[in-house]
Amino acid sequence: MLQKQLEYIRSITDFKPQVALILGSGLGALADEIDIVKTIDYKDIPGFPISTAPSHKGRFVFGFIGKAKVVIMQGRVHLYEGYTPKEVVSPIFLMRKLGAEVLFLTNASGGINKDFSIGDFMIIDDHISSFIPSALIGKNDDSIGTRFPDMSDVYNSNLCKLIEDTAKENNIDVKKGVYIQLRGPAFETKAEIRMCKTLGADAVGMSTAIEAQAGNYCGFKVCGISCITNLACGISDRPITSEEVNETANRVAGSFKKLVIKSIERIANG
């Protein structure tokens, strides 16, 4: 299927991206502002999982951010939509086959760390994926990656530093921390958030770790930024809604876009 999808995309464009960027909940607007070369709707790609999440657009955008050639996923697919782990990460393998070398992940998350405020950005420096199934289970395809991939630098430390430096230069405040991916689609209980906290997680969400693991496996240098759109259950007494998540993401979209765009420009400049 991967080969078919690759052929379909290649029948439309020979664009070879350097950076693959995935835009999370409420963060998709960034793709409308870049220098667009081509867009391809997921629904037109053979066997491609289609995003059913609200506010996810469902298309690849090929274009330029400064000098950087990028492919953007405007909308991702999640395990909670009913897709298998392999389906969820199939776009990652496809973007790697298209030639991308850096995988830049973004998401919306609930803040667990007491020092985090709503609207903060967190550079993801590690993750906990132990509560979700791995997309790497099953017969290994050695042409994509090794059976037992190392995850000791899953979020590439040089890229984390580059994002941190970029934030400083642009006067954007950033935190750093560990992201935990749970299955969703229900937001967590208070007891679950206590568990996450005990385990060392700073922010919780329903995506990203599965992608980072697959990305690392297939040879991407991976990095990620999480937007703390709400405080996790029990950290604040307020019930969590997807409206609040989107509202916060929209509110901070300006500085978020700036941080992502400036970081990617810097990646392209070597």
- The C-alpha atoms of residue 87 and residue 66 are separated, in whole angstroms, by 31
Q: How far is CA 42 from CA 4, 50, 107, 262, 269, in A?
A: 13, 6, 19, 27, 30
Binds ligand HPA by CB under 6 A, chosen from 68, 162, 163, 206: 206
Nearest approach in angstroms of CB 111 to ligand HPA is 8
What do you get for the CA distance between the two ends of the chain, in Å? 33
- The yes or no reply on residue 177 touching ligand HPA (CB under 6 A) is no
CA angle 32, 122, 250 (to 5 degrees): 35
75 within 8 A of 187, measured Cβ to Cβ? no
Nearest approach in angstroms of CB 55 to ligand HPA is 12
Q: Which stretch binds ligand HPA (CB under 6 A): 45-53, 88-96, 139-147, 199-207?
A: 199-207
120 within 8 A of 193, measured Cβ to Cβ? no
- The yes or no reply on residue 108 touching ligand HPA (CB under 6 A) is yes
- The yes or no reply on residue 106 touching ligand HPA (CB under 6 A) is no
Nearest approach in angstroms of CB 108 to ligand HPA is 4
Q: Which stretch binds ligand HPA (CB under 6 A): 76-84, 136-144, 164-172, 228-236?
A: 228-236
- The yes or no reply on residue 245 touching ligand HPA (CB under 6 A) is yes
Total residues contacting ligand HPA by CB under 6 A comes to 13
* Torsion angle in degrees (nearest 10) through CA of 210, 91, 160, 236: -50
Structure tokens at 237: 């007494």
Tell the burial category of 255 from Cβ atoms under 10 Å away from its Cβ (0-12, 13-18, 19+): middle
- The yes or no reply on residue 103 touching ligand HPA (CB under 6 A) is no
Binds ligand HPA by CB under 6 A, chosen from 110, 145, 177, 215: 110
Binding site for ligand HPA (CB under 6 A): 108-110, 187-188, 204-206, 229-230, 232, 240, 245
